[in-house]
Structure 1
Amino acid sequence: MAETKQSKPAVKKAATAESKLARLGLRTDMDLVLHLPMRYEDETEVISIREACLRGGHVSQVEGIVTSNEITYKPRRQFIVHIADDTGELQLRFMNFYGSQVKQMAEGTRVRARGELKHGFFGAEMVHPAYKIVTEGAPLPTSLTPVYPSGEGLSQAVLRRSIAEAMRRVDWTDTLPAALRERLHLQPFEPAIRLLHYPPHDVNEHELEERSHPAWTRMKFDELLAQQLSLKRAQQSRRQKGAAPLHAIGSLSAAFQAVLPFQLTKAQQRVLDEIRTDLRQQYPMQRLLQGDVGSGKTVVAALAAAQAIDSGFQAALMAPTEILAEQHFRKIAAWMEPLGVQVAWLTGSLKKKDKQAAVELVESGAARLVIGTHALIQDTVQFDRLGLVIVDEQHRFGVGQRLTLRNKGADGLVPHQLMMSATPIPRTLAMTYYADLEVSVIDELPPGRTPIVTRVIDQNRRDEVIERVHAAALEGRQVYWVCPLIEESEALQLQTATETYETLAAALPDLRVGLVHGRLKPAEKQVVMDAFTAAEVHVLVATTVIEVGVDVPNASLMVIEHAERFGLSQLHQLRGRVGRGSAASVCLLLYQSPLGPIAKQRLMTMRETTDGFEIARRDLEIRGPGEFLGARQSGQAMLRFADLETDGWLVDQARDLAHALLHDELPGSAAIVAAHLERWLGGKEEFLKV
C-alpha cells in the first residue's frame, strides 16, 4: 500500500512534464529528436576567477567554494553569494530566488557558475548566473550544452533528459538512400542530428550559430522536402476529386468583353487564358491570381465568373470586408446586370428580410453570381449549381472558411477555386507555402496609370501638409488622409481618425471633410464613400478600411499619418488607392521622430520603389513569411529551420526531388515519400488537403 502512495507523485510529475511537452507540440519520440537547439553554451572549460576578471564583459565559467551568503534588502530584496578559488573572489547576485537556493549554497559548498562577468560597485560579480553544485574534480561536459526553445514551467533539464531518452528509442533509418544523399551532398540523418544536439568542443561555432553547418543543411533540406511533398500530394489529392468542366465561353463572355471600356492588357489576357484552360478540366482548379495594386484582377475574376455562367453554373465571390465586397458588387453588377445577369448581394449586416430574399435568389438559381462576405458560407445559404468560387484577399480567411464554401459545390462536385491577392508573393515564398497551387501573375499595369511620387515628411511639418491638401482640393483633386487608430491611445500617442477629422474640418472650413472607420455602421460608411466617389467630399479621413478595393480615379493625394507604424505591404496597399486616374499622384508619409532602424528601412523602400514585387521581397527580408501567409498557416507548420532569404537554393533542390519522387522517377519512390512524410509531419498532413 505504501508503495502505491509513493508512486502517485512520481506518476503525476511525469504526466505534468508530458502535458508541458505536448503544449510545445512534442508528443512523439521523433518530435523530441527534431526539437533542435536554438543556441549553445560552452561549459567544456572552467577558468580561474582571476582570469575571468581580466576577461571582463565576456561569458565565463568559474568554480569556487562559497565563503559567505546573505539576503539583503537594499535597494531591493536580493541574495548575494561570495565564492572564491586560489586566485580570487567573485560575487554572485540573484534578484529572484527561492529559499531552497539559500540552503543549497551554504558556506563550504563547491559551485560551478557561468555568466557574464562585470565589474560593479562591489567588485567583480555575475548577475543571475547559471550554476550547479559540484564535487571537487567533477568532470566537465565534452560537448557544447544545447539550449532548447521551451515553454512555461518546462526546464532545460527536463527537455535535455526527454530528448536524450527519445534518441535512445527512435528509429534512425535514413529516409534518403545513400546514393541520393551523395548526389545532393547531404550528411546522413543520424550523425547530423547527433551533432546538432551534442556538438563536439572543436566544432565550428560560427557555422553552428549561423545554421550554415552541413548538419543544419541536412535538417533544412529534409524540412523543405517534407513541405514540398505534402503540398504536392495535397494538390494530387484534390485533382482526384471531380469538378464540373466549365467548357462554354459563350454569349455572356463575348458581350462582357465587348462592353468593357478598355482593352485587357497582355498580362490580363495571358492570365485569363490560364484560368479558362483550368476551368475546362474535370478536376477542380486551385489557382492563385496575384497582381500589384491596380493591375486589374477584378475584371479577370469577372470574366472567369462569366465562363461559369455561360456553362450553366453559378459563381460566388467572397471578400473579407464589407467595404471591399461592396466595391466588387458595384463594379461587377454594373458590368453584368445590363447583360441580363442577376447578381445577388449577401452580407451579415443585411436586414433579415433582405437577407432572406437574397438567399432565395441564390437557392432558386435566379442569381447566377453571388457577391458578399463570409455570410456566403453560412449553413442557411444553399446554392443551386455552384461551379466557381472566387476568394479575394484569400490570406485573410481561415482554412475552414474556404473549405466550407468549397463544400457547397453542385451535385457533390468540388467547385473550381480562384484565390486573389493584391499582396505580391515573392518567388521563394510561392514555391514553398503555395507549392500546391497554380500561380498566375498580372505583372503589368493598365495604360494611362500615372506613377505615384512618394515623399517622407516629419510630423513637425504637418501645417505645410494641410496647406498642400487645401491647394490640391482647390484644383479639383480629392485627398485621402489615413490614420492608424480610431480612438486616442495614451501609450502610443497617435493622432486618431476622429481627432484628425475635427482638426482638418476646422483648418479647411471651405472644404467638405468626410470620416470613415471600421466602427461605423455599413450604411453610414456607404453614405460617406458614395459622397467621396461623387466628388462631394474633398478630403476623406479614414482608417485602413480603405486599404483595398476602393477605386476613385479623381483622388490623387494620399497622406498617411504615423507611417512608421504600418507594415510595408499595408503602406503599398494604401498608396495604391491613388494613381488610378490621369492626374499626377502623390503619397505623403508622415512620421514621428526618432525612427527605429526597421521603420527607417520601410519608409526608404516606399520612397525608392512602387514595384509591389520588389516591396514584397524586401518585406519578406524584414518581417519573414507570416505577413504574406495570413490564415493559410492554419494547421500548417511554419518552416522552423529553413530561411527563405538565405536558403532559396535548397528550395529549388527540394522541389525538384519532390517532383521526381511523386512521379516515381527514382527506385523506391513511394517508400521514400511515405517514410519522409511520417518522420517530418506525422499525422499533420491532413491539414494541407484544404
Structure 2
Amino acid sequence: MLELSTPVQYVKGVGPRIGEILAGKGIHTVGDLLHYLPFRYEDRLNPRGISELRAGEMATVVGEVRNSGLFRTRRMPIFQLTVGQGRARLRCLWFNATYLQDKFTPGQMIALYGKVEEDPHNRELQIVQPQFEILGDPTDSGENGAEKKAAESLEIGRIVPIYEAIGRLTPRWFRRTIRTALDNLTPDLADPIPAAVRAHLGLISPRAALWNVHWPEPGESFEALQSSRTPAHLRMIFDELFFIELGLELKRREQKAQTGIAFQLDDGVRAAIKKILPFHPTAAQKRVLKEIAADMEKPYPMRRLLQGDVGSGKTIVGFEAAIIAIENGCQVALMAPTEILAQQHYFSARRILENAGYRIVLLTGSLEADRKREVRRHISQGNAQLVIGTHALLEEKVEFAKLGLVIVDEQHRFGVLQRLKLMKKPAEGEERSRASLAARGDGVRASATSAPAEPDVLVMTATPIPRTLALTLYGDLDLSVLDELPPGRTPIDTRVGSDEESAKVWKFVRKQVAAGHQAYVVYPVIAENEESELKAAVKMYRDLSGAIFKDLKVGLLHGRLDSELKDQVMRMFQRGELNILVATTVIEVGVDVP
C-alpha cells in the first residue's frame, strides 16, 4: 500500500524518469501528487443521442464506429472517423493525427467527448479533436462488454477532473495515475485535525476528501465543484489554513521565548514624546501608540504591523516609538524601500526630532564612499540614535552599537528575509566582536555569553488589508490600525476608467490643474516590453508633455534616475513648479506633497 510519504516514482506508471519531471513542479511524494488538484471539471454525465446534439454544446456521445480513414490536404493530414447510432451519424476530425490510422475498426463501441460544431460547407454536425475511449470490439462477447467498460471509464459517464498538463504529462495521464494512487492508498490515513474540531465543523475524513476532490460522488453539485465549495474542497482548504495558522502560532510562541528589551516608559519618556509632537494626535494615534508602548515594555521582542491609509499619521507614530527606544539608550533603524522616501523620512525626522537634541543620520546606496564610511562609523560608535536608510542598512559593513527598534516602512516592498536580516544585526555585531576578542586572545569564549537581545520590530503599510486577511498573512505580527484621519483631510474618491475614457481623464486633470491643484500619472513599469500591456511611464511622459499637456509643466520620476535628479524633480513638484508628475510606483510609498 502507498503512504502519503511514499516517493512518487513508486506509483504504478510513474518511475524515475517521470518522477524527475514531476519533481520539477514540486511533486515528490504520493501526498504531493494527490494534492495536485484539478483546476476545473467537465460534466460528461449522461451520454447524448446524436439526433439530440446542437452546435456549440459540449457533449458525450457513445456510438458504433462505421468507418475511418486518413486523407491528406496541402496543409496537413486529417483523420476522419464516422460513428453512428442507428441511422444517425456523427463525423469526428483530428488534425495531424496519423497515429490514429490503425486505431479503429468498424463495429467498435466508442465514447467521445468534445464541442459539437456545424460544418460550414454541408451544415452537418461534427466534433473536432474529441477525446475518445474505445469501449469494446465487435468480437467482445455479449452486450455487457461495452456497457461494463463505459461504467468503469474515467473519461465518460461521470464528472471528469481536468488537470494542468506538465510537459508531455497530459490531463488524461494525471487522471489515470492519480486514480491508481488513490486505489492503492493505505486505508489507515491519519487525521491530523483534532476530533472535536472535525465534529464542530462537520469535516469529512482526509481520505474521503482526497477521493472526492479528484473523483466526485454521483450527484455532487457541478456548480459547487467549479467554485471549490464541495465538502472535499472545504476540508482541504481548512487543512491548509489550519496549518498556516498553527505554524504562525508556533512562530509567535518562539518569538515570546526570545530575549527582548523591556523598555521603561516613565514620566521622562512621556515628556520627551509630548515635546516633539507637532500637532494634537488623533484618538486612533493615541490608541495605537498605547498598543506599541505596551509591547515595548515587555521582556520579549515586539512584532507589530501598523496599518493606516496615506495621511493617517503612521510616520509620527513611528517617531514616537523611536523616542521610547532612544530615551532608553538604544538606537533605532528606519528602513524605507526607496531613496526618495528615505530622504523624506530623514528631512521629516530632522524637522521634528533634531531640535529636541536627537542625532539622525541617512544611509543610502547613492552616498559617496567617504560619506558612507563616516555614517557607518557614527552608527557603530552609537553616536547616531536614529538611522534612516534603504537596503543599504542591510550591508554587512553596517554595525549598530545597540539596536533596540527596527521600523520598516511599506513593509510589502521588503521580503521576510530582508526584515529578518535587519532584525539580526545585533547578533551579527556581537558575534563579530566575540570573534575579534577571541582572535586577540582576550580570554573571551564565543559560547560563554548569552544571546543578545533582539530588537523590537514595527512594520508599517498604507496598503489596505482586511483584518481577517492581515491576521492570516501576518499572523506572526500583532495588528494595529489607524482608522482615523487627522482633521481637515479630504476623503479619497476612487474611480475606475478604461483606456477608451482617457480623454475624460485628461479633461479632469486639466480642470484640477486650472483650479491650482497638481496631479500624478502613475505607471507600474519603466520601459515597454513584450510581456506587458501596461503603458510605460517614459512613453506616457513624452505623449503628455509633447501633445496632451504641452502648455503645462510635466515632470518624470522613476527609480532609474540618479539620486540628485530624483531629488530635484521631487522638490520641484513639492514646490508647485510642476503641474503634473508622470511616475512609476516610487511615489506609491507615501511621498509628501502639500
TM above 0.5, yes or no, is yes
Superposed displacement of residue 266, structure 1? 0.7
Q: Is the 8 A contact 1:517 1:545 kept in 2?
A: yes
**Residue 331 (str. 1) matches residue 348 (str. 2):** yes
Q: Matches of 2:105 and 2:381 in 1, distance apart?
A: 84
1:58-109 per-residue CA deviation (whole Å, 9 max, x = no partner) reads 32233331512224436766443333343322222234x4542334357776
Q: Matches of 1:150 and 1:543 in 2, distance apart?
A: 37
Match of 2:443 in 1: none
Q: Matches of 2:392 and 2:384 in 1, distance apart?
A: 16
Superposed displacement of residue 182, structure 1? 2.5
**Residue 433 (str. 1) matches residue 473 (str. 2):** yes
Q: Is the 8 A contact 2:309 2:463 kept in 1?
A: yes
Superposed displacement of residue 286, structure 1? 0.9
The one of 560, 581, 587 aligned to 1:546: 587
| The 10-residue stretch of structure 1 (73-82 or 291-300) with the greater mean CA deviation from structure 2 | 73-82
Match of 1:367 in 2: 384
Q: Which amino acid letter does the alignment assign opposite residue 111 of structure 2? A: R
Give the alignment of 1:414-433 within 5 angstroms: 414-433=454-473
The one of 148, 157, 169 aligned to 2:163: 148
Q: Which amino acid letter does the alignment assign opposite residue 468 of structure 1? A: K
Q: Which amino acid letter does the alignment assign opposite residue 514 of structure 1? A: G
The one of 490, 493, 518 aligned to 1:450: 490
| Residues 166/521 of structure 1: CA separation in 2 closer, same or farther (3 Å cut) | same
Number of residue-to-residue matches in the alignment: 536
| The 10-residue stretch of structure 1 (151-160 or 425-434) with the greater mean CA deviation from structure 2 | 151-160
Match of 2:438 in 1: none
Superposed displacement of residue 551, structure 1? 1.2
Q: Matches of 2:202 and 2:519 in 1, distance apart?
A: 58
Q: Matches of 1:201 and 1:238 in 2, distance apart?
A: 49
Match of 2:112 in 1: 113
| Residues 66/427 of structure 1: CA separation in 2 closer, same or farther (3 Å cut) | farther
1:589-644 per-residue CA deviation (whole Å, 9 max, x = no partner) reads xxxxxxxxxxxxxxxxxxxxxxxxxxxxxxxxxxxxxxxxxxxxxxxxxxxxxxxx
Superposed displacement of residue 177, structure 1? 4.9
Q: Is the 8 A contact 1:486 1:498 kept in 2?
A: no
Q: Matches of 2:226 and 2:369 in 1, distance apart?
A: 60
Q: Matches of 1:258 and 1:309 in 2, distance apart?
A: 14
Q: Matches of 1:489 and 1:39 in 2, distance apart?
A: 32
Q: Is the 8 A contact 1:72 1:80 kept in 2?
A: no
Q: Which amino acid letter does the alignment assign opposite residue 530 of structure 1? A: R
1:508-556 per-residue CA deviation (whole Å, 9 max, x = no partner) reads 3xxx443322321111010121122233334433333222221122xxx
Match of 1:273 in 2: 290
Q: Matches of 2:381 and 2:420 in 1, distance apart?
A: 23
Match of 1:160 in 2: 175
| Residues 153/318 of structure 1: CA separation in 2 closer, same or farther (3 Å cut) | farther
| Residues 250/105 of structure 1: CA separation in 2 closer, same or farther (3 Å cut) | farther
Match of 1:413 in 2: 453
Match of 1:527 in 2: 568
Q: Is the 8 A contact 1:71 1:77 kept in 2?
A: yes
Which structure has the bigger radius of gyration? Answer: 2
Q: Matches of 2:373 and 2:45 in 1, distance apart?
A: 73
1:484-529 per-residue CA deviation (whole Å, 9 max, x = no partner) reads 5555679859461233233366323xxx443322321111010121
Q: Is the 8 A contact 1:313 1:387 kept in 2?
A: yes
Q: Matches of 2:172 and 2:310 in 1, distance apart?
A: 51
The one of 395, 409, 414 aligned to 2:412: 395
Q: Is the 8 A contact 1:319 1:391 kept in 2?
A: yes
Higher helix content, 1 or 2? 1
Give the alignment of 1:281-296 within 5 angstroms: 281-296=298-313
Give the alignment of 1:587-666 within 5 angstroms: none
Match of 2:363 in 1: 346
What TM-score comes out, normalization by structure 2 length?
0.82
Q: Matches of 2:65 and 2:13 in 1, distance apart?
A: 36
| Residues 540/67 of structure 1: CA separation in 2 closer, same or farther (3 Å cut) | same
1:424-468 per-residue CA deviation (whole Å, 9 max, x = no partner) reads 211221232222221000100001213345677732346744642
Q: Which runs of 5+ in 2 are unaligned?
A: 1-10, 138-144, 153-157, 431-451
Q: Matches of 1:403 and 1:225 in 2, distance apart?
A: 24
Superposed displacement of residue 353, structure 1? 1.7
1:642-662 per-residue CA deviation (whole Å, 9 max, x = no partner) reads xxxxxxxxxxxxxxxxxxxxx
Match of 1:60 in 2: 60
Q: Matches of 1:13 and 1:325 in 2, distance apart?
A: 54
Q: Is the 8 A contact 1:485 1:497 kept in 2?
A: no
Q: Is the 8 A contact 1:46 1:63 kept in 2?
A: no
Match of 1:311 in 2: 328
| Residues 504/135 of structure 1: CA separation in 2 closer, same or farther (3 Å cut) | closer
**Residue 93 (str. 1) matches residue 63 (str. 2):** no
Q: Which runs of 5+ in 1 are unaligned?
A: 1-9, 554-690
Give the alignment of 1:184-195 within 5 angstroms: 184-195=201-212
Q: Which amino acid letter does the alignment assign opposite residue 448 of structure 1? A: G
1:168-214 per-residue CA deviation (whole Å, 9 max, x = no partner) reads 24441222354543333222332333233322333333333333333
**Residue 468 (str. 1) matches residue 511 (str. 2):** yes
Q: Matches of 1:350 and 1:247 in 2, distance apart?
A: 35
Q: Matches of 1:80 and 1:296 in 2, distance apart?
A: 71
1:230-269 per-residue CA deviation (whole Å, 9 max, x = no partner) reads 1111111121111122224565663343232201111001
| The 10-residue stretch of structure 1 (337-346 or 441-450) with the greater mean CA deviation from structure 2 | 337-346
**Residue 25 (str. 1) matches residue 26 (str. 2):** yes
| Residues 114/253 of structure 1: CA separation in 2 closer, same or farther (3 Å cut) | same
Q: Is the 8 A contact 2:78 2:97 kept in 1?
A: no
**Residue 536 (str. 1) matches residue 536 (str. 2):** no
Q: Is the 8 A contact 1:248 1:310 kept in 2?
A: no
Match of 1:37 in 2: 38
Q: Matches of 2:492 and 2:196 in 1, distance apart?
A: 55
Q: Matches of 2:74 and 2:32 in 1, distance apart?
A: 47
| The 10-residue stretch of structure 1 (523-532 or 133-142) with the greater mean CA deviation from structure 2 | 133-142
| Residues 84/298 of structure 1: CA separation in 2 closer, same or farther (3 Å cut) | same
- 1:441 aligns to what SS in structure 2? strand
Q: Segments of 4+ in structure 1 off by > 4 A?
A: 10-13, 42-45, 74-78, 105-110, 177-180, 248-253, 452-457, 483-495
| Residues 333/103 of structure 1: CA separation in 2 closer, same or farther (3 Å cut) | farther
Q: Is the 8 A contact 1:29 1:166 kept in 2?
A: yes
Match of 1:124 in 2: 125
Q: Is the 8 A contact 1:20 1:153 kept in 2?
A: no
The one of 225, 246, 253 aligned to 1:208: 225
1:102-132 per-residue CA deviation (whole Å, 9 max, x = no partner) reads 3435777654211121222242111221112
Q: Which amino acid letter does the alignment assign opposite residue 144 of structure 1? A: I
Q: Matches of 1:397 and 1:197 in 2, distance apart?
A: 38
**Residue 459 (str. 1) matches residue 502 (str. 2):** yes
- 1:304 aligns to what SS in structure 2? helix
Instruction: Give the structure, 1 or 2, with the largest relative contact order (CA under 8 Å, sep 6 or more).
Output: 1
The one of 492, 503, 513 aligned to 2:547: 503
| Residues 453/36 of structure 1: CA separation in 2 closer, same or farther (3 Å cut) | closer
| Residues 452/501 of structure 1: CA separation in 2 closer, same or farther (3 Å cut) | same
Q: Is the 8 A contact 1:274 1:440 kept in 2?
A: yes
- 1:104 aligns to what SS in structure 2? coil
Q: Matches of 2:518 and 2:226 in 1, distance apart?
A: 53
Superposed displacement of residue 21, structure 1? 2.1
Q: Matches of 2:528 and 2:223 in 1, distance apart?
A: 47
| Residues 131/456 of structure 1: CA separation in 2 closer, same or farther (3 Å cut) | closer
Q: Matches of 1:312 and 1:66 in 2, distance apart?
A: 91
Q: Matches of 1:269 and 1:525 in 2, distance apart?
A: 35
Match of 1:263 in 2: 280
Q: Is the 8 A contact 1:249 1:311 kept in 2?
A: no
